[in-house]
A and B are shown apart, each in its own frame.
Chain A
């Protein structure tokens, strides 16, 4: 099986903050990466700082930010068309079937998604669960490896240390560029570090310089 990584997160910018360093490392090795992005983050609170988006313009703005971020990372993008905040109310089985149509075509060697129950945002938990359910649709001997990302405060005490820990310091410039592509969101999330850009990148590196995952046990 040839290598191909599929990243499955619900919101434009989840990939930037969560896995863009790891993704960059794969791309540097020539491994294809496809991002299945669940929603357009239509219900995001961040409207830029100072605000430049409204509830009605945010979806298109975030869509173009997402496309730009994927160009920065040099990955393929598929937008799955769900609505922000509503994923947990969809049928897990239907979402899993939908995700599987992509996985069945791509036949990935590795899937990266959120760790259900430890991913804080209800969309993260729901989409992670659907992604894992989708992988389970492959026969056992054809399943890709799944790396599940936990971000809850209590995940280490509850499920132990993540077995995959990627120091992405050497590619952090690319990660920072990916984050900044999501301008409407980065403005607010990096507001704590209102300094010169170099310092901001350094501060972000302290915060986001390691990406960790749990190899999912089926």
Chain B
């Protein structure tokens, strides 16, 4: 994945607007967070292959952290903290944020074909 180039990413997000797309959205601080640090609390959520259509998608931010919002007819999809992106060989748009040790903290992925189960 590459550091986000905001104008390029915005174009990629625009390409998927107003189409049926599959979304993978995830955030996690890991299953061991409270094991390694008693003061920490495990949190995480993911949704894979949610089928939606967004009328407008926008990436906002600068430097090391970006937010992406997708406006749906009756709701929103939101991710904060993405800082890298790529279009993989299956034409899926992958966005993610990693910590300094390379661990994934947040991911938002958009594809016109389903993600592998």
Interface residues, chain A, with chain B CB atoms under 8 Å away: 43, 45-51, 54-57, 59, 83, 85, 120-123, 151-153, 187-188, 191
A51 and B1 contacting across the interface, CB-CB below 8 Å: yes
CA distance A188 to B90 in the complex (A): 27
A146 to B33 CA separation, bound complex (whole angstroms): 29
Q: Measured between C-beta atoms, what is the minimum distance from A12 to chain B in Å?
A: 15
* Residue of A43, A121, A123 touching B46 (CB-CB under 8 A): A43
CA of A7 to CA of B32 in the docked complex: distance in angstroms? 22
Which residues of A lie under 8 Å from residue B12 when comparing CB positions?
A: none
- Provide the B49-91 mask, 1 if CB < 8 A to any CB of A, else 0: 0000000000000000000000000000000000010101010
New contact pairs (17) apart from A51-B98, A85-B46, A151-B35, CB-CB < 8 Å: A45-B103, A46-B101, A46-B104, A47-B98, A49-B102, A50-B102, A51-B1, A54-B94, A54-B96, A55-B104, A55-B107, A56-B116, A59-B116, A122-B31, A152-B35, A153-B38, A188-B103
Q: Are A188 and B94 in contact (CB under 8 A)?
A: no
Residues of B within 8 A of A153 (CB): 35, 38
Contacts of A188 in B (CB 8 A): 101-103
Do A55 and B32 contact each other (CB < 8 Å), given the known contacts A47-B104, A49-B102? no
Report the nearest B residue to A192, measured CB to CB: B101
Q: Which residue of B lies closest to A60 (CB)?
A: B116
Interface centre among B1, B98, B103 (most CB of A within 10 A): B103
Query: Given contacts A43-B46, A83-B117, A120-B32, is CB(A55)–CB(B109) below 8 Å?
Result: yes
CB distance from A62 to the nearest CB of B (A): 14
Q: Are B101 and A120 in contact (CB under 8 A)?
A: no
Across the interface, which residues of B come within 8 angstroms of A57, CB to CB? 88
Query: Which one of B28, B30, B35, B86 lies within 8 Å of A54 (CB-CB)?
Result: B86
Docked Cα-Cα span, A63 to B24, in Å, equals: 21
Pair B26/A55 contact, Cβ less than 8 Å: yes
Per-position 1/0 for B14-38, Cβ under 8 A of A: 0000000000101010111001001
